[in-house]
Amino acid sequence: MEWYFTLLVILGPLFMLMLMGLPVAFAFFAVNLVGAYILMGGIAGIEQLVLNTVDSISSFTLIPIALFMIMGEAMFQSRIAVDLMDTLDKWFGKLRGRLALMAVGGGVLFSTLTGNSMGSIALLGSSLTPEMEKRGYKKEMSLGPILGSSGLAIMIPPSSLAVVLGVIAEISIGQILIGIIVPGLLMAVLYVVYIIGRCTISPELAPAFDVQPVPLSEKISSTIVNIVPLTLVVFCVVGVIFLGIATPSEAAATGAFATLFLALIKRRLTPQVFGRTMLASSNISVMVLLIVSGAVTFSQLLAFTGATYDMVDAVLSLDVSPSTIVFLMVMTVVLMGMFMGPLSIMLITLPIFVPVVIQLGFDPIWFAALFLVAIETGATSPPFGAALFVMKAVAPRGTTMGEIYKAAVPFIILDLAAILILFFFPVLVTGPVGLMFD
């Protein structure tokens, strides 16, 4: 059977099950089960499938997923994230577009602490959007910055999706976490430049308003109490990896411990807060691990049929430049993000894309960074980007999906600009990685 027929037979039922509303993890397991029985020798194939599934979730490299979830939930449940926003509010003063800039600043800081983009939308949307509406901000300047900046959680460590990508693609998680730092900051800078420029050209988008002056001493004291301790958490995750002190799994453990310790010092780590943190993080972690186990065995099924290798050979024989092939892959991820969730896209495309990228001679860490930016772009893209519906849930009453779509467009364009910059200047990704690992 030709490779494209094999892919059609395997991917067709997978898409059908997802369209029918079956959860992603169960859709993968159903396809894996039937595929193993038909293509891998009946009952013996199913037995091998079970062994592969167990092996896929017993990997030490998956530990950061659960620990990063604990970090994020502890930040939100103990309201440390709220303290952070209050401190940022004191520093921005009367700056035009200050609330939109706060959304970006909050998005960056939450990204370094939680790695949860949907949680970031929920917190920033529920806390900042009503205030923006009250101050006369137009929808595109109240909703857009939150949509854009929340996606930075994918791009700045700790990033659970980066860990999942590393496991599925079988590339270094530590190198991915270091490689996405500069791209994440690049996106934040693009957002800030756009907001300042747009508010200068069209001040009616973000009307100026009087702000009660805050004494410098109060700003400094609030920073010392609410922000400086968070640098310890950041160091425990990113710093220890960069300095070579710890592996990503060990860094996730030190980060989770530091976050819980900080909540304890602030007297916020009550039994109720701890219980909610562990329950919420466990629910999300189990869901992710189920999906990852299905994806790993799915990629093994593709490899067993030979479809992956045949497709790689077919792609390599195309009369187009290797760069064009990689760029089309990235754009495919963006388009898929308009209709599917990030995890589903990763599970379907990575087993196919990564072997091609490696055979074409490109750095897989560079491609991983491009892939994550594309995932973030797709998540905020109409009509069915996942972030759009989370924004709808927390937006002020009366906000329409059309207004959310319109607000997202400028930040989608900025994300595409970031993809182009990273595509033509791969050193932004490979430079920090080479500095650390060479």
Helix then strand count (H, E) for the chain reads: 25, 0
Q: Check residue 47 and give its pLDDT.
A: 80
Mean pLDDT to the nearest integer, 339-368: 85
- Report the half-sphere exposure of 411 (CA within 13 A, side-chain side): 36
C-alpha distances out from residue 269 to 229, 252, 254, 277, 280, Å: 16, 19, 17, 10, 15
Is the pLDDT score of 373 beyond 90? yes
Query: Could you read off the pLDDT of 159-170 as tens digits, one per residue?
Result: 778 888 888 888
Query: Could you read off the pLDDT of 316-353 as tens digits, one per residue?
Result: 677 788 899 999 889 888 887 776 767 778 877 888 88
Is the pLDDT score of 210 beyond 70? no
Q: What is the rounded average pLDDT for all residues in the chain?
A: 81
Check: pTM over 0.85? Answer yes or no: no
Q: Check residue 114 and give its pLDDT.
A: 61
Mean pLDDT to the nearest integer, 219-230: 86
| Separation CA 52–CA 45 (nearest Å) | 10
- Amino acid sitting at position 428: L
Is the pLDDT score of 21 beyond 90? no
| Separation CA 148–CA 380 (nearest Å) | 7
Alpha helical stretches, state H, 151-247: 152-155, 160-169, 173-179, 181-201, 216-226, 228-234, 240-242
Q: Check residue 372 and give its pLDDT.
A: 93
DSSP state of 156: S
- Reference 161, options 153, 149, 170; nearest CA is 153
Query: Could you read off the pLDDT of 77-129 as tens digits, one per residue?
Result: 888 877 877 787 778 766 777 888 888 887 787 776 666 666 667 667 776 78
Mean pLDDT to the nearest integer, 195-204: 90
Query: Could you read off the pLDDT of 409-433 as tens digits, one per residue?
Result: 999 999 999 999 999 999 999 998 8
**Residue 37's pLDDT band (cuts 50, 70, 90):** confident
**Residue 311's pLDDT band (cuts 50, 70, 90):** low
**Residue 197's pLDDT band (cuts 50, 70, 90):** very high
Is the pLDDT score of 24 beyond 70? no
In this predicted model, which residue has the larger pLDDT, 351 or 179? 179
Is the pLDDT score of 290 beyond 90? no
**Residue 192's pLDDT band (cuts 50, 70, 90):** very high
Ranked by mean pLDDT, the top range of 89-103, 348-362, 387-401 is 348-362
Q: Check residue 301 and give its pLDDT.
A: 75
φ/ψ bin of 95: left (φ > 0), alpha (ψ from -120 to 50), beta (otherwise): beta
